[in-house]
Structure 1
Amino acid sequence: MSGKLALTLACGDYEIVRALKEGEVKPDGIELTMLTSMDSTTRHWRFLRGREFDVGEVSSSSYLLARDQDMPFQAIPVFLHRRFRHGFAFVNTSKGITTPKDLIGKRVGVKSYQVSAVLWLRGILEHEYGVPHKSIEWFAEYDEDVEFVPPAGLKLTRLNDKQNCEDMLVSGELDAVLHADLIWPIVQRHPAVARLWPDYKAEELNYFRKTSIFPIMHVMGLKREIVEKYPWAPIELQKAFEAAKAIGMKRMENPRIAPLAWYREAWEEQEEVLGPDPWEYGMTERNRHTLETLVGYSHEQGLMKRKMSLDELFIDVSQGRKRGGYRI
């Protein structure tokens, strides 16, 4: 036996965790069993409902609800998944929806109501485009990671097992769909479906330049009993994720890594717009702004009953002022 703390970690199979998965980076004092093959929706459910993993990459929106309901989880400021979301709003082309305000009074499908991508989109639609979330009739395909009581005035219907948002959008039963993933009618270029914002990248660039927000989708959750019994473990995990990301980002600078003709140009464009580390971890000023915005959306939309502070929501992984270096 190694004498190390054995933990099970479930996360996506990202380049920025490759060094951790392959053992190039090892968190001090911890022996990890990493699970990286399951899809996000399944992982979030199994972590929050089944408590199957000690550490799990989890929906930021669902984590906020879990903490609001005092479920036994905490999180470190590691954000493996971010994504701009304007490109994930889809409309039926026969419905005359050409601007965001055309969604008012419409029937809109979602993967699940509390999924992070949809929480971000609802907040963006309301605050940037004047579309109140309660002005829409919502239809959710999946049940929720964390049960919640819909607030008064929210029109939310759960679809049955034989229904799905994508087919209902094509048929016209739904006017629009907000989704976490690219839906099959877009991938297959079905004429009945288009994006709400045809030039979604321009919208996303304008949104970032206005708000400085690169939306955080997932946080790194831990079982509360692990944190209480081994208070040093979150810091060592944070350090390991930081080290793995640094190795992954360095590797991805090489244009030969990806089979894309203009890969390096895209890398340089990202750096010019988002800065040298768009996937920064920790409670930086920009991350605080992004997370406070998300908490505000969650509370405003009736998911969180109390607007919790980031200091309540995330473990302090600092090691003391001027400390944490490697000088002996």
Structure 2
Amino acid sequence: MSKKLPLSLACGDYEILRALKEGTVQPDGIELTVLTAMDSSTRHWRFLRNREFDVAELSASSYLVARDHELPVCALPVFPHRRFRHGFVFINTGKGIREPRDLVGRRIGVKSFSVTAGLWMRGILEHEYGVPHRQVEWVAELDEDVSFTPPEGLRLSRLPHDRSVEAMLAEGELDAVIHSDLIKPFVAGDPRVARLWPDYRAEEVRYYRKTGIFPIMHVLGLKREIVEQHPWVPINLQRAFEQAKTIGMQRMENPRLVPLAWYREEWEEQAAILGPDPWEYGLGARNRHALDTLAGYSHEQGLSRRRLPLEELFLPVDEGRKRGEFRI
């Protein structure tokens, strides 16, 4: 009986990863222990600080900082999580904020400065709406996945353990919050808190049609030692993630799986706007554009000391022309 390489994989519990979690898809030569119970920020911190997992879904922004600091991690061009960010900018309704330019000179809370959601939205606010990140006072709640030294001119402070940016926004101690999730006061219907863009979906569609970017949130990180000791692992993992995504996307075409009255209509509208595979892996033209943009924001905002090229960031997974195609 052949022996497989045991690897731990920490990731989110996503439909496009279901086949890996349930064992329907198994990477050739690899036995995965799949861990899905952690929240994202915990998973990222534990992987980057302690290297507790062999493979982990990882914050794209934190990965850029980690590579800039030459930590022993690398990544595959697998992007398990993407999300438009306009719907996650929240304002205090008593501060007279009506449009993005009203954020200039304000005090804005973030979960941590290096969170990918914040990096994307700060870059979008600066380049699409004229809100320079250095003309805002930033207040972070958590420590960073990878520590960095804020550059001169960046106004950044960190809250004590017993304070939260969500509560401070509701109380008026912050003017706005950029978050990776829906914040508690908003979910609870607190009238003191609202979205910056009430029709955020229309704004996100407009942004996509202008830029072609569906923001990449997470990449697939690996310990460098795994790649050095077993150079065949990256391609086999890439193939397995591609297979799992193909199965997941085909399964989700069935409207009977989801208790939403107009699910199929939403699925078709997504395809009409974003194309047939919005969750595309690899370094094709659309993904390169998104990742180059994110790397530029990271350098511009002082998280990475140089602009990192994609060839340094992602392991090669090419199997040769017309080779390695997965079919079901």
TM-score by length of 1: 0.98
Amino acid at match of 2:94: S
Give the counterpart letter for 2:287 in structure 1.
N
- In the alignment, structure 1 residue 109 sits paired with structure 2 residue 93: no
1:314 aligns with 2:314: yes
CA distance in 2, matches of 1:2, 1:66: 36
What code does the residue aligned with 2:228 have?
Answer: E
After superposition, residues 217-232 of structure 1 pair within 5 angstroms as 217-232=217-232
Cα offsets for 1:116-163 (capped at 9, x unmatched): 000000000000000000000000000000000000001101000111
Aligned residue in 1 for 2:122? 122
- Indicate yes or no: 2:265 matched with 1:262: no
- Whole-angstrom CA distance in 1 between matches of 2:308 and 2:63: 12
Q: Distance in 2 between matches of 1:293 and 1:284?
A: 14
Tell me which residue corresponds to 1:5. 5
Please, what TM-score do these two structures have when normalized by structure 2?
0.98
Matching residue of 2:16:
16
Q: Which residue in 2 is equivalent to 1:196? A: 196
Tell me the distance in 1 between the aligned counterparts of 2:24 and 2:159: 45
Specify whether residues 326 and 241 from structure 1 end up closer, same or farther in structure 2 by C-alpha distance, changes over 3 A only: closer
Where does residue 51 of structure 2 map in the other structure?
A: 51
Listed as ranges, the matches of 1:89-238 within 5 Å are 89-238=89-238
* Matched AA of 1:233: V
SS in 1 for 2:319: coil
Q: 5+ residue gaps in structure 2?
A: none
Q: Distance in 1 between matches of 2:2 and 2:110?
A: 46
Q: Is the 8 A contact 2:75 2:313 kept in 1?
A: yes
Deviation at 1:3, TM superposition (A): 1.1
**Identity, % of aligned pairs?**
69
Q: Deviations over 1:46-81 (max 9, x none)?
A: 100110000000000000000011000000000000
1:190 is paired with a residue whose SS is coil
Report the 3-state secondary structure (helix = DSSP H, G, I; strand = E; otherwise coil) of the residue aligned with 1:319: coil
Bigger CA drift: 285-294 or 256-265? 256-265
Q: Which amino acid aligns with 1:312?
A: E
Match for 2:82: what amino acid? R
Q: Distance in 1 between matches of 2:114 and 2:135?
A: 17
Structure 1 residue matching 2:91: 3-state secondary structure: strand
Tell me, what secondary structure is at the counterpart of 1:144? coil
- Cα shift at 1:326: 7.5
How many aligned residue pairs are there?
A: 327
8 Å CA contact 2:243, 2:326 repeated in 1: no
Secondary structure of the 1:150 match is coil
Structure 1 Cα separation of the partners of residues 264 and 2 of structure 2: 42
